[in-house]
Structure 1
Amino acid sequence: MEISILYINFINITAFVFFFIWRYFQETKYIKALVSTLANEKDLDFILESFPDGYSSFEKTLSTTIDDLVLVAKEELNGLKVEHLEENDYTLAWIHEVKTPLTSMKLMIDSLDDRNAQKKLEVEWLRIHLLLDQQLHNTRLSTIEKDYMIEEVDIQKVLHMEIKEFQAWCIQKNIGFDLENLEVKVLSDPKWLAFIVRQVISNAVKYSHADSEIHIRTDRDDTGHIILMIRDSGTGISQADLPRIFEKAFTGTNGRQTTASTGMGLYLAKNVAEQIGIHVLASSNIGVGSTFSLRFPLKNEIVKILGR
């Protein structure tokens, strides 16, 4: 009798173990397929196409519910994309509208007989122009992959053009430029490179002391990369602020002391640089000044950028 009971218990336990294993694989098959789909697919359309249907009634209900949620999310995302594009179009149209009176203002400033008033107005005009330029490139940043062309760029030519733009501001603060070893060419996009240089020089002029110099030169590192260095001897950046200077809207200690800082210049410069393969580094000390280094990609690295 005892043997029969033990035998029955053994049969029951064995059957339960097999049933448990079978149910485990049945229940986890759908979950694994679901996790695999979400892990491998990022596009909503592909997720909907490859979504598992499920095996049990519960899994089918869950699958249908998730499908509906994904469709709702897709509709909301498409709505946001349309809204974003419309906002970008409006911003670009507004910028181009503002440029017309700004150009007229520049012509009127140039025609003034009072040289002192002319110089002061030129500096204020330049600040407005730079802010407008920042907003324009911020709007275009999301579609930069459609708006760049890598070619051989003369660094010296780009720098001379950008320095000329800051002439009025530099004269006001009596700031000079020391240029060294700039007769080099790099592979980059001339328009976006000029924008990056403009943001760095703008910061250098803004935070430089009066009657000082901004030093600009190029060098090569051990791997053959060309490096453009822009160094000022201004107020400098604290070590606490230095890791965050490329964050959006971060103004830091120096920025809080002036209303002229928006915290967007270096953020945009860094983001644009990453898109075209330029690596931006910064080093600084309070009271000593700041150095910004732009490391340009090699030819084989450019191929990877173009293939993205």
Structure 2
Amino acid sequence: MGLKLFVKENISFILFELIVVLFILSLYWLDGFRNLDTAIYSVIISLLLTFSYLAIRYVFRKNFLERISNMPNSMDDALQKNAKTPEHLQTEAYFQELYRLYQNEVQNLYATQNRQEKFLNQWIHQMKTPISVLELLLQEEENNLDKTSLQEEVDRLKRGMEMVLMNARLEKFEEDMQIEQVNLKGVVTATINDNKRLFITKHVFPVIDIDEDITVTTDSKWLKFMLNQFITNAVKYTFEQNKKVKIFVKKNDSNVTLYVQDEGIGIPKSDLSRVTNPFFTGENGRKTGESTGMGLYLAKEICEKLGHELKIESEVGKGTIISVNF
């Protein structure tokens, strides 16, 4: 197989050399064949040099040609290093780098698939709670149906569905992104209104301190999703009543920074550096039993893709401050 491939590879060169020999013979014929022995000698020498060159070239390329002529049984067979010429050394280096890139893409694909699977399994497990509560509520007599509790569980389902959808869209973030000038107070107010029942239930009060004219360059939909994560976490981990969640802005010549500050239980110092890791729930998540460990992770990913800077500061017993620098 190697020899057959070598002949196919060099057939054009062989034909060229035959044309050269015919050209030499034509020169002697035009010269009148005054010295036939010289013509024959020239043809023989040309053919010998040509076939000697091809033989030496075949020796150097034999292993390479035989290797690519037979389909490999494993990746190790395909990536063997036995090149002898600069061309083959470069080819092997190319395939080694190509395999490294392929491995990285496969690992990223597996990591994404595993993350999606783990997230869905965890989300499905947590959605059993509101569904069970809804079933219990519906089993009660119609006149005694607690509509407030019913709405709370529906809101929990809606928030869970939104997180699943955003997690799926994050994989194709660039296709779903629309950068524009966004009025910051408008987005914050809309997010607060979406969570007003949560504030009322927990007896926590939002305080907004943002000028009407402050705008930032971002994607309003993704920004609203991030704010929703920050605000729901702030309220969810505020166990005492009549506390506040403050949303305010600090602005200088080049930057606008949005802050979400709560008066909740705070994040333990040992957990603070890991709260943006996927599926990390920490001590606080175990207390409520409702955390998927994905909210702050998704917020961090969104900030990185939008070019914003996310910071989290917290002290146990005093609360948490999350800031987004635009």
Of 214, 218, 226 in structure 2, the residue corresponding to residue 188 of structure 1 is 218
In structure 2, give the amino acid aligned to 1:136: L
- Alignment equivalent of 1:125, drawn from 129, 149, 154: 154
With the length of structure 2 as denominator, give the TM-score of the two structures. Answer: 0.59
Q: 2:189 corresponds to which residue?
A: 160
Q: What are the within-5 Å matches in structure 2 for residues 127-142 of structure 1?
A: 127-142=156-171
Q: Are the structure 2 counterparts of residues 220 and 250 from structure 1 closer, same or farther at C-alpha, using a change threshold of 3 Å?
A: same
Pairwise CA distance, 1:207: 0.5
| Distance in 2 separating the partners of 1:68 and 1:224 | 46
Percent of matched pairs sharing the same residue: 29
Structure 1 65/290 Cα, relative in aligned 2: closer, same or farther at 3 Å? closer
**8 Å Cα contact 2:199/2:205 also seen in 1:** yes
Give the Å deviation of 1:244: 1.0
Q: Does 1:236 align with 2:263?
A: no
Residue 67 of structure 1 deviates from its aligned partner by: 3.9
Kindly indicate whether residue 176 of structure 2 is the aligned counterpart of residue 147 of structure 1. Answer: yes
Partner AA of 1:192 in structure 2: W
Q: Does 1:263 align with 2:261?
A: no
Query: Which amino acid is 2:243 matched to?
Result: S
- 1:296-307 maps to which residues of 2 (within 5 A)? 296=326
Give yes or no for the alignment of 1:219 onto 2:247.
no
In structure 2, what is the Cα distance between the partners aligned to 1:205 and 1:159?
15
Determine if contact 1:54/1:63 at 8 Å carries over to the other structure: no
Specify whether residues 273 and 63 from structure 1 end up closer, same or farther in structure 2 by C-alpha distance, changes over 3 A only. Answer: same
**Mapped partners of 2:105, 2:227: distance in 1:** 35
Give the distance between the partners of 1:59 and 1:250, measured in 2 at CA. 50
Q: Which amino acid aligns with 2:249?
A: T
Match of 1:174 among 193, 203, 210: 203
- Return 5+ residue gaps in structure 2 as ranges: 1-78
* Cα distance change of structure 1 residues 115 and 217 upon mapping to structure 2, 3 Å threshold: farther
| Mapping of residues 266-285 of structure 1, within 5 Å | 266-285=296-315
Does residue 195 of structure 2 align to residue 203 of structure 1? no
Change (3 A) 1:54 1:197: same
SS in 2 for 1:132: helix
Alpha-carbon separation, structure 2, partners of 1:163 and 1:73: 45
What is the deviation of 1:81? 6.2
The answer as to whether partners of 1:152 and 1:188 remain within 8 angstroms in 2 is yes
Q: Does the CA contact (< 8 Å) of 1:218 and 1:229 recur in 2?
A: yes
Aligned partners of 1:76 and 1:280: how far apart in 2? 27
* Deviation of the 1:258 alpha carbon: 2.0
Q: Give the whole-Å Cα distance in 2 for the aligned partners of 1:158 and 1:286.
A: 29
Structure 1 counterpart of 2:319, from 280, 289, 305: 289
Q: Distance in 2 between matches of 1:114 and 1:218?
A: 47
- For 1:44-59, list aligned pairs within 5 A: 56=84
TM-score normalized by the length of structure 1:
0.62
> After superposition, what is the alpha-carbon deviation per residue over 1:248-300, rounded to whole angstroms, capped at 9, x for unaligned?
1111111111210111000001110111111111111111010111111xxxx
Give the deviation of 1:126 after TM superposition. Answer: 1.2
**Shift in Å at residue 114 of structure 1?**
6.7
Q: 2:279 aligns with which of 243, 249, 262?
A: 249
Consecutive unaligned residues in structure 1, runs of 5 or more: 1-50, 297-308
Question: In structure 1, what is the Cα distance between the partners aligned to 2:248 and 2:104?
Answer: 50
Distance 1:172 1:164 in 2: 14
**Alignment check: 8 A CA contact 2:208 2:248 kept:** yes
The answer on whether the counterparts of 2:83 and 2:89 sit within 8 Å (CA) in structure 1 is: no
- Is the 1:182–1:217 Cα contact (8 Å) retained in structure 2? no
Q: Which one has a bigger Cα radius of gyration?
A: 2
Output the amino acid matched with 1:154. N
User: What RMSD over aligned residues (CA atoms) do the two structures have, in Å?
Assistant: 4.0
Q: Deviations over 1:99-139 (max 9, x none)?
A: xxx9xx9xxx9xxx979811111111111111111111111
1:61 CA drift (Å): 9.0
Paired residue secondary structure (1:257): helix
Describe the shift of the 1:147–1:118 C-alpha distance in structure 2 as closer, same or farther (beyond 3 A). Answer: same
Contact residue 158 and residue 190 of structure 1 kept, 8 A? yes
What amino acid sits opposite 2:146 in the alignment? A
